[in-house]
Amino acid sequence: MLRKYDYSEHSQVLRLFTRGEGMVSVLAKGVKKEKSSFGGALDVFYLGSAAVLRRPRAGLDLLASFRVETAFPGLREALPRFLAACHLEEILSGMVREAEPHTPLFDDTVAGLSALETAPEDRVAPLLAALELATLRELGFAPSLARCAHCGGEAAGPGTGLSVRLGGVLCPACGAEDAGARRPAAGTLATLRTLARSDPPRALRVLLSPAERREIRSFLDAFEEWRMERPLRTARFLG
């Protein structure tokens, strides 16, 4: 479960990210009651099996039951982990359409939240960046990091830029195509490319310098906001 909204005194609308159907919004009647049939309140980042009663004419399907498999408790044991999970949730909620299946992305998200549960504080940033890049790739929005986003040629060496508007790296010859393109350090681009190829275990072995952390975070936030066409609420809480 990714989000929940109060619907009435005792009921909530839950937004579920499902393995087979993508995003699904359901009504959980009585979920806030002390003795609800759900066995207690449901919260964000709960992973489980949901039984949904289809109601085509009602606007919202009804959640009949939810069997919790894990609540990813480690996310709540350290604020950086929880904030990273909230940021990932905002991206998923903003980019994945209702009833649009993304099975590999669902599996990657579960693996990512599991890795975040025990991530040391100094490894949360590279892990989150790798998860964001994997999400963008699965949804078809990944920035071009291997070749110039404008001409398709090799993008390496001094003068290589990063363009949010054009969708990725710019070779030195195309740098003038976007006056607002960033000029990150060469090490930052190399690390960003590594993270784009990294699964959670590999990302956890990456240690970012303060400069790399700032530059990667700034680019990903700007790129995601450009794709979503709105500011990210969680971005300001990430260091």
Mean pLDDT of 200-210: 96
What pLDDT is attached to residue 151?
A: 96
Residue 69: which H helix or E strand, with range? Answer: strand 61-70
pLDDT (0 to 100) of residue 150: 96
Give the Cα separation of 96 and 160 in Å (integer).
31
User: Residue 23: pLDDT band by 50, 70, 90 thresholds?
Assistant: very high
pLDDT for the residue 41:
67
pLDDT band of 223, cuts 50, 70, 90: very high
Asked if 142 and 202 sit in the same domain, the reply is yes
80 and 53 in one domain?
A: no
pLDDT classification of 138: cutoffs 50, 70, 90:
very high
Instruction: Give the CATH number of the domain where residue 200 resides.
Output: 1.20.1440
Confidence of residue 203 (pLDDT cuts 50, 70, 90): very high
Q: What is the count of structural domains for the chain?
A: 2
Statement to judge: residues 212 and 96 lie in one domain: yes
Q: Would you state the pLDDT for residue 5?
A: 84
Give the pLDDT confidence of 72-127 residue by residue, as tens digits.
Answer: 999 999 999 999 999 999 999 999 988 889 999 999 999 999 999 999 999 999 99
Residues 57 and 98 in one domain: no
Residue 89 shares a structural domain with residue 62: no
Taking the chain, what is the end-to-end CA distance rounded to the nearest angstrom?
25
- Give the model's pLDDT for residue 32: 82
pLDDT, residue 170, reads 96
Give phi and psi for 211, each to the nearest 5.
-70, -45
Q: State whether residue 161 is helix, strand or coil.
A: strand
Q: How far is CA 46 from CA 100, 108, 131, 139, 157, in A?
A: 20, 15, 18, 23, 45
Report pLDDT for 40.
Answer: 63
At which of 52, 70, 88 does a domain end? 70
Write down which residue in 13, 38, 70 finishes a domain.
70
Q: Which two tokens stand for residue 107?
A: 């599996």
Q: Write down which residue in 27, 51, 70 finishes a domain.
A: 70
Residue 54, domain CATH: 2.40.50.140
Q: Average per-residue pLDDT in the chain?
A: 92
Which range has the top average pLDDT, 57-66, 91-100, 209-218?
209-218
- The arithmetic mean of pLDDT across residues 145-167, rounded, is 91
Same domain? 93 vs 145: yes
Same domain, 101 and 164: yes
Question: Are 145 and 222 contained in the same domain?
Answer: yes
pLDDT at 101: 92
96 and 61 share a domain?
Answer: no
Q: Are residues 157 and 93 in the same domain?
A: yes
In the three-class reduction of DSSP (H, G, I as helix; E, B as strand; rest coil), residue 204 is classed as: coil
Q: What radius of gyration do the chain's Cα atoms show? A: 20
> Do 4 and 42 form a contact (C-beta atoms < 8 A)?
yes
DSSP state of 58: T
26 and 82, same domain (yes or no): no
Round to whole Å and give the CA distance between 13 and 20. Answer: 20
Check residue 39 and give its pLDDT. 61
Using alpha carbons only, what angle is made at residue 48 by residues 43 and 52, rounded to the nearest 5 degrees? Answer: 90
What is the SS3 assignment for 210? Answer: helix
Structural domain including 51 reads 3-70
Which residues, 6+ apart, have CB-to-CB distance to 43 below 8 Å?
A: 1, 4, 71
Residue 128 has pLDDT above 90, yes or no: yes
The mean-pLDDT minimum among 37-41, 63-67, 210-214 falls in 37-41
Same domain, 63 and 175: no
